Amino acid sequence: MKNKTSFLPQEGETHPSRCPDNSAFKQQKLPAWKPQLTLATVLSTFFLTGALCLSVGVCLILSANSVREIQGDVFMYYGLQNFYQNHRRYMVSRSDAQLLGQNVNIQKSYCAPFTTYQNGTPMAPCGAIANSMFNDTIDLFYNINSSVVQVPLLKTGNSWWTDKNVKFRNPKSYNVSSAFAETARPPYWQKPVYLLDEEDEKNNGYVNDDFIIWMRVSAFATFRNLYRRVSRVRQFVNGLPAGNYTFHISYNFPVSKFKGRKHVILSTVVWSGGSNPFLGIAYVVSGTAAALTGFVITAIHLKLRKKKTYFQKE
């Protein structure tokens, strides 16, 4: 007969107890606030929330509609329609380690199939997001009398400070071109990453403002990205003066394949941002829903109270 291992404690042996300590925290005896949900508190919460959201929403919508399209600090945007950056496989098709400059030779990542070429040369930057980067060139000209003046546009200072200094870094090297010497541009690009801005090396490579803004994907199929800011110098010190303007656009980004459209927008900003009423509409809808819920609860309460009074009389 085989010996059986006994799991019962033997005489004289002690085992640690698995019971929690007899403390207020572990015995769940800490004092707690238990709100009493009365009719007055519930209705006041709904009505106050509704009034607050409606007030904020109306203010945001009025602010967005007050954005002027000409004077003041003028921003140039490019807009795309029917371009779905929110697709799951598209959103993860990037390498944050590569964009931080830790390693340009990314072999295994979410970037596939935009990782390496058939000869083994790694792509820099890799991934579908970078490969589809918007690459149209847009220039603005002011037609004054019989002459044409090019509007000075700023291509730096358009991205967030955290992106430029924290999330994106070039590989450490004595210059940008040598850092990407053993890499190749993505298939749809016309020039390598170290030539995105040939005039300013601080705006080159992974820290290029246009590249950083494009890598911040949109949640909707219709969106706009900041492209340039008007430099307030010479006759443009107060913004864009009234007159005739001409856009010169180098068409490099095709949109017919995905049945999309492109736009160029000139706009100013206000305290709530640009001319986008979405946030205001969201507040108005939330406030309306809260107020309607309060009215429905009030109607139900009045109806039930009448029934209770009727039965008590009988």
Supply the pLDDT for residue 111: 87
- Mean pLDDT, to the nearest integer, of 78-107? 87
Supply the pLDDT for residue 272: 56
How far is it, in rounded angstroms, from Cα 59 to Cα 74?
A: 22
How far is it, in rounded angstroms, from Cα 128 to Cα 179?
A: 22
Please give the mean pLDDT across all residues of the chain: 84
| pLDDT class of 107 with cuts at 50, 70, 90 | low
Predicted TM-score (pTM) of the model is 0.69
Whether pLDDT at 174 is above 80: no
For residue 125, whether the previous peptide bond is cis, meaning omega lies within 30 degrees of 0, is: yes
Contact 128, 90 (CB under 8 A): yes
Task: Taking the CA atoms of 111, 117, 122 and 124 in sequence, report the sign of the dihedral they define.
Answer: negative
Per the listing, tokens 């403002």 go with 209
Whether pLDDT at 313 is above 60: no
- Mean pLDDT, to the nearest integer, of 114-126? 89
Supply the pLDDT for residue 297: 86
Domain boundaries, the chain: 44-57+281-313, 67-269
31: which 2 tokens?
Answer: 């004092």
Supply the pLDDT for residue 79: 94
| pLDDT class of 80 with cuts at 50, 70, 90 | very high
Supply the pLDDT for residue 221: 92
Phi, psi at 135, each rounded to 5°: -130, 20
Supply the pLDDT for residue 15: 64
Q: What is the pLDDT of residues 234-249, one digit of tens each?
A: 888 888 888 899 999 9
